């Protein structure tokens, strides 16, 4: 890709090993990857945007070409501001597809310059989601296989035993 700044948007409430897997694979393919915390109007979040950004920063500290940001606006606009050539999305299962396809077409309409690229989630993370992590920790379950160790305590402190 000519300009290989790409962006990986999401709510990341919180970041999981599934997200980190996509981040590592995309960072290996492009010059620069910007992970951007965004607002999903369909979700209510447990962590503030700043907390989510901090947790991502801790999780990607060993990846030199990865930046972390927060943007409270349209993804298509953000891609324009950053002159990004592509939006990276992780695709878990067919259940993700329809919604992701709709978003990709909408973003293309809003910003024809930007492509959406889908990476298939690694099989060991097919089932993993932030909401599942929150549910497990709220019932005092072990989430160490699901979230980066750097943020494990942050999540347990905030949400542990609230179920």
Interface residue list for ligand PNS (CB under 6 A): 9-11, 38-40, 43, 74-75, 103, 106-107
**Which residue, 67, 96, 53, 55, is CA-closest to 7?**
67
Residue that is written with structure tokens 């492009």 in the block:
30
Catalytic residue among 43, 61, 131, 149: 43
- Catalytic status, residue 61: no
Sheet holding 86-91, edge to edge: 66-70, 32-37, 5-10, 86-91, 115-120
Identity of the residue, 85 or 111, whose beta carbon is nearer to ligand PNS in the bound complex: 111
Catalytic residue among 11, 59, 85, 130: 130
Identity of the residue, 62 or 72, whose beta carbon is nearer to ligand PNS in the bound complex: 72
Residue 125's CB is within 10 A of a number of other CB atoms, namely 18
Shortest gap between Cβ of 98 and ligand PNS (angstroms)? 13
Residues forming beta bridges with residue 120, ordered by sequence position: 91
Identity of the residue, 5 or 107, whose beta carbon is nearer to ligand PNS in the bound complex: 107
**Which residue, 17, 3, 14, is CA-closest to 122?**
17
- Catalytic status, residue 92: yes
Identity of the residue, 5 or 9, whose beta carbon is nearer to ligand PNS in the bound complex: 9
Shortest gap between Cβ of 37 and ligand PNS (angstroms)? 8
Residue 119 DSSP one-character state: E
Shortest gap between Cβ of 71 and ligand PNS (angstroms)? 8
- Catalytic status, residue 19: yes
Catalytic residue among 24, 92, 152, 158: 92
**Which residue, 50, 94, 100, 52, is CA-closest to 75?**
100
């Amino acid at each position: 890709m000519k300009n290989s700044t790409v962006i990986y948007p999401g709510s990341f409430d919180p970041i999981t090993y599934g997200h980190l897997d996509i981040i590592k694979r995309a960072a290996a393919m492009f010059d620069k990857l910007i992970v951007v915390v965004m607002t999903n109007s369909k979700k209510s979040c447990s962590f503030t945007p700043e907390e989510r950004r901090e947790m991502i920063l801790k999780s990607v500290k060993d990846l030199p070409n990865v930046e972390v940001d927060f943007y409270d606006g349209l993804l298509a606009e953000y891609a324009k501001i950053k002159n990004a050539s592509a939006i990276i999305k992780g695709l878990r299962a067919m259940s993700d597809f329809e919604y992701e396809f709709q978003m990709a077409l909408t973003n293309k309409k809003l910003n024809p310059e930007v492509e959406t690229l889908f990476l298939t989630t690694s099989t060991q993370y097919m089932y993993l989601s932030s909401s599942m992590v929150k549910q497990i920790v709220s019932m005092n379950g072990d989430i160490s296989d699901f979230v980066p160790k750097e943020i494990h305590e942050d999540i347990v402190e905030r949400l542990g035993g609230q179920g």
